[in-house]
């Protein structure tokens, strides 16, 4: 289970809305608290994909810079988010092809006709080769 504060969920929805009809993307920052993975920050990235309407690519420099900043703080990059313009908030074929880090949370926002709908979280089950839904607790 992950905990996502409502204000961060709102910022992701806003990014998804602004980027439409392209996909938005960014990194999730957080820490483990017992069984709960607590998301306590996000870092928006430019979508560097050559076809941003149906795919995303996070700026690797942003990731490296954040990793350096977070070293020794107990917080880390724990996943990423992106949006699906006019597609369901579930991993696409392309997402499956790109997934290779089983420890990362995938947060996907569905956008339909410019309106942001569902926000869903997934984690890759590498052995099974598929994404597994992760419950989001929307607590402050
Ligand atoms: Zn996707």
Q: CA 68, CA 63: separation in Å to the nearest integer?
A: 9
Q: Would the pTM count as exceeding 0.85?
A: yes
Q: CA 112, CA 10: separation in Å to the nearest integer?
A: 16
CA of 64 to the centre of ligand 1 (A): 22
* Alpha-carbon 24 to chain mean position: 10
User: Tell me: the pLDDT tens digits for 17-27?
Assistant: 999 999 999 99
CA of 2 to the centre of ligand 1 (A): 19
CA of 122 to the centre of ligand 1 (A): 11
CA of 40 to the centre of ligand 1 (A): 22
Q: Tally the C-alpha atoms within 13 A of residue 131's C-alpha that lie toward its C-beta.
A: 24
Any idea what the CATH number is for the domain that residue 66 is in? 3.40.140.10
pLDDT for res 140: 58
| DSSP β-bridge partners for residue 81 | 26, 107
Q: What is the mean pLDDT of residues 8-36?
A: 96
Residue 39 lies in domain: 2-137
User: Tell me: the pLDDT tens digits for 47-101?
Assistant: 999 999 999 999 999 999 999 999 999 999 999 999 999 999 999 999 988 887 8
Count of the separate structural domains present in the chain: 1
CA of 95 to the centre of ligand 1 (A): 5
């Amino acid at each position: 289970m992950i905990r996502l504060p409502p204000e961060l969920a709102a910022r992701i929805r806003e990014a998804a809305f602004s980027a439409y009809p392209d996909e938005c993307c960014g990194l999730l920052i957080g820490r483990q608290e017992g069984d709960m993975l607590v998301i306590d920050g996000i870092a928006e990235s430019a979508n560097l994909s050559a076809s941003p309407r149906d795919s995303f690519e996070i700026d690797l420099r942003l990731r490296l810079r954040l990793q350096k900043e977070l070293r020794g703080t107990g917080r880390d990059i724990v996943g990423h988010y992106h949006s699906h313009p006019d597609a369901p908030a579930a991993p696409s074929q392309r997402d499956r092809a790109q997934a290779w880090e089983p420890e990362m949370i995938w947060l996907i926002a569905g956008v339909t006709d410019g309106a942001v709908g569902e926000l869903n979280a997934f984690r890759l089950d590498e052995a099974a080769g598929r994404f597994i839904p992760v419950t989001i607790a929307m607590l402050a």
